[in-house]
Amino acid sequence: MSLHQVKYCNKYDLSFLVQSRGNGWADTFHLGNCGFLIDISGLNKISFNSNKTQATIQGGALVQDMINAAFGNNTRFATPTCNCLGYLGAFLGGGITREMGLYGAGVDQIVSVNLVTASGQALQVDQTHNPDLWYAIRGAGANFGIVTSAIIKAYPIPQALNIAWEGAVTFADEKLESLIQAIHDLDLKPHMEIDFLFSTSGPPTYTPMITAIPFFLGNASAAEAAFAPILKVGPTSNGATELPYTEWGAFTASFCEKGERKPVYGVSLARQGLDAEIWRSVYDEYKGFVAAYPEAANSTILAEYYPIQKQVAIGSATSSYPFRDIPVHVAVIPLYANSSLDAAANAYGSRVRDLLRATDGLARNST
């Protein structure tokens, strides 16, 4: 379908853009007053090879589609945190995955793709077919062509063993510095990952709160031992529990809600960017913003800390994705409905990003 649409647009000199699931935020391209949006969300079929080590997926498949298909076939994919993302859209950009310590980055999961170029040419792209394009499409941006389908790695595992320990572990405000230091000092093994976020308690008080979300591929007893330094900080509540693969991303449901304005400010950090003093300043900025603008009380700041051993070992020579040695990724997410808050939200996002970049431990901005 995409092949014919591209040829039609080229024939009549029409601008066009491709959309899978519409999760990306960008203001650097547009269709102007006249153009076509090529929606490939209906291309979402998934099929497996005989031993369930690979799957052929269409370009519009959601992460949730992938998880459901894999779980039903006693296998697993490397998957990101949010289930509402278009799988290939997220992974062609680099791809942060919950299982990154075991399997590598998202781009490392792709075996081959079928691609339609801007001129309307259909190509197979892999290590032996169009190798320069193969290197480029995995990490260097989204404008090399339309990926209509791909072959992806899968990792067979029985349903009963396809579990992880995760959940919300909340902390009082005065524990913030101790929590950040504990996360910084954590011995992050390949089967571990941890997020932490600033959010509010919701109605009626919308009280700011600090939450860690540890993730461990395995059972509760092993997980609690691995995350003992976090638990020793003294949480006010601990909701971490064993969950099947199909429920790992349940806590991100609020991030997946459509509507409202989300001028997201991203920043990535080296490990030393987990600086307790700076994060206290970031939390103060967050509390000040939601207090000043109650209509933005559902805003969040989300930080994700990943083990990077596997993706570093795979190496940058295999793809154009440049950020393999960066473990911490942060999203500052003002969330509100009224465009009158745009200026204040953007100023707040810029301030927080500048605070984090000041001690990010990196030679250059690497978001």
State the Cα–Cα distance between residues 185 and 339, nearest whole angstrom.
41
Could you tell me the fold of the domain covering 162-358? Answer: Vanillyl-alcohol Oxidase; Chain A, domain 3 (3.40.462)
Exposure string for 93-119, b = 16+ CB within 10 A, e = fewer: bbbbbbbbbbbbbbbbbbebbbbbbee
Q: For the chain, give the percent of residues with pLDDT over 90.
A: 74
Q: Is pLDDT of 76 > 90?
A: yes
Q: What is the pLDDT of residues 317-366, one digit of tens each?
A: 889 999 999 999 999 999 999 999 999 999 999 999 999 999 999 988 88
pLDDT at 148: 92
CB 195 within 8 A of CB 249: no
For the residues 5-34, what does the mean pLDDT come to? 78
| Candidate CATH numbers 3.40.50.300, 3.30.465.10, 3.30.450.40, 3.80.30.20; the one for domain 2-156 | 3.30.465.10
pLDDT at 84: 86
pLDDT at 1: 54
Query: Going along the chain, which residue ranges are E strands?
Result: 15-19, 35-39, 46-48, 54-58, 75-76, 110-116, 122-125, 146-153, 155-156, 163-166, 169-171, 192-200, 208-216, 237-238, 241-244, 265-269, 300-305, 328-333
pLDDT at 147: 92
pLDDT at 14: 86
Segment among 16-25, 83-92, 318-327 with least mean pLDDT: 16-25
For the residues 294-299, what does the mean pLDDT come to? 96
Q: What is the pLDDT of residues 212-233, one digit of tens each?
A: 999 999 999 999 999 999 999 9
Please tell me whether the peptide bond between 204 and the residue prior to it is cis, using omega within 30 degrees of 0: yes
pTM: 0.92
Greatest mean pLDDT among 28-42, 171-185, 250-264 lies in 171-185
For the residues 3-18, what does the mean pLDDT come to? 85
Count of C-beta atoms within a 10 Å radius of residue 38: 17
pLDDT at 298: 94
For the residues 24-30, what does the mean pLDDT come to? 66
- Per DSSP, the residues of 214-240 read EEESS-HHHHHHHTHHHHTT--SEE--
pLDDT at 25: 62
In angstroms, the Cα distances linking 81 to 2, 85, 195, 245, 250 are 28, 9, 10, 11, 9
pLDDT at 108: 96
Q: What is the pLDDT of residues 107-145, one digit of tens each?
A: 999 999 999 998 889 999 999 999 999 999 999 977 788
Q: Is pLDDT of 28 > 80?
A: no
What does the domain layout of the chain look like in residue ranges?
A: 2-156, 162-358
Q: For the chain, give the percent of residues with pLDDT over 70.
A: 98
Average pLDDT, the chain: 92
**Spatial CA neighbour of 93 closest among 135, 131, 138, 57:** 138
State the Cα–Cα distance between residues 32 and 62, nearest whole angstrom.
28
For the residues 190-201, what does the mean pLDDT come to? 97
CB 99 within 8 A of CB 163: no
- Per DSSP, the residues of 33-64 read TSEEEEE-TT---EEE-TTSSEEEEETT-BHH
pLDDT at 26: 63
State the Cα–Cα distance between residues 53 and 163, nearest whole angstrom.
19
Q: Is pLDDT of 27 > 70?
A: no
State the Cα–Cα distance between residues 226 and 208, nearest whole angstrom.
28
Count of C-beta atoms within a 10 Å radius of residue 46: 19
